[in-house]
């Protein structure tokens, strides 16, 4: 069996860049959008999971096409940050809130804690995708990478420019 050919054009991922952002930049090299790149070249049509939990088969195909290491690609999604930043991506874990609130608690003794079981809750993960970015980074033609942490309600400003993150729409070179 012959391995899949490498993409001749594939910019290197930026430090902390989201997988969807990098794929947007790769697709822009071929004057395509991400859906066209993934559906026609890789047979993958699901775009909603790119920054949350992309499939192993997609990551493996991207690794073959780009030469970027599998672990690097995985770290460009939230799944790559489990269990360091997030305990789980599963929102049906009943003890998620308790684990999140009490795992580092030293001031509140265990006997006085009130335990609440809340389902469908995940720490730091919004129910709807947040599309925010630094306007200065997006207007810089040499950068234009959307960082993964900008999609979490953890970040409000750009660490490089110190300006507020703003909502954006579009693709690299055509952000609004």
Domain ranges of the chain: 19-82+126-167, 87-123
Sign, CA dihedral 132-134-139-145, equals negative
Q: To the nearest 10°, the Cα dihedral for 60, 64, 70, 72?
A: -130
* Radius of gyration of the CA atoms of the chain, in A: 19
Contact status, residue 146 vs residue 20, Cβ threshold 8 Å: yes
User: Is pLDDT of 32 > 70?
Assistant: yes
Contact status, residue 26 vs residue 66, Cβ threshold 8 Å: yes
Query: Mean pLDDT, to the nearest integer, of 49-56?
Result: 88
Nearest of 26, 27, 86 to residue 53 by alpha carbon: 86
Q: What is the pLDDT of residue 100?
A: 66
Q: What is the distance between the alpha carbons of residues 165 and 26, in angstroms, rounded to a whole number?
A: 24
Contact status, residue 48 vs residue 106, Cβ threshold 8 Å: no
- Number of residues in the chain: 176
Query: What single DSSP character describes residue 80?
Result: G
Residue 95 φ/ψ, nearest 5 degrees = -95, 15
Q: For residue 147, give the 3-state DSSP assignment.
A: strand
Instruction: Centre a 10 Å sphere on the Cβ of residue 58 and count the other Cβ atoms it contains.
Output: 19
Q: How confident is the model at residue 1 (pLDDT cuts 50, 70, 90)?
A: very low
Q: What is the distance between the alpha carbons of residues 175 and 80, in angstroms, rounded to a whole number?
A: 27
Q: Which residue has the higher pLDDT, 104 or 37?
A: 37
User: Is pLDDT of 92 > 70?
Assistant: no
Q: What is the distance between the alpha carbons of residues 24 and 38, in angstroms, rounded to a whole number?
A: 10
Most confident of 33-37, 70-74, 103-107, 115-119: 70-74
Report the share of the chain in percent with pLDDT over 90. 27
Longest Cα–Cα distance in the chain: 63
Query: Mean pLDDT, to the nearest integer, of 114-130?
Result: 70
pTM (two decimals): 0.80
Q: Which residues pair with 167 in a beta bridge?
A: 132
């Amino acid at each position: 069996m012959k391995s899949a050919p490498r993409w001749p054009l594939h910019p290197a991922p930026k430090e902390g860049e989201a997988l969807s952002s990098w794929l947007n930049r790769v697709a822009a090299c071929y004057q395509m959008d991400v859906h066209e790149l993934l559906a026609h070249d890789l047979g993958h049509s699901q775009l909603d999971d790119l920054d949350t939990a992309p499939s192993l088969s997609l990551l493996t195909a991207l690794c073959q096409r780009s030469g970027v290491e599998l672990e690097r690609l995985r770290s460009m999604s939230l799944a790559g940050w489990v269990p360091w930043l997030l305990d789980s991506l599963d929102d049906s874990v009943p003890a998620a809130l308790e684990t999140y609130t009490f795992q580092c608690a030293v001031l509140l003794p265990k006997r006085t804690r009130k335990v609440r079981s809340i389902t469908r809750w995940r720490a730091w993960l919004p129910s709807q995708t947040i599309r925010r970015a630094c306007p200065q980074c997006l207007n810089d033609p040499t950068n234009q990478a959307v960082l993964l942490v900008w999609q979490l309600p953890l970040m409000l400003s750009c660490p490089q420019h110190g300006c507020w993150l703003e909502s954006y729409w579009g693709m690299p070179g055509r952000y609004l």
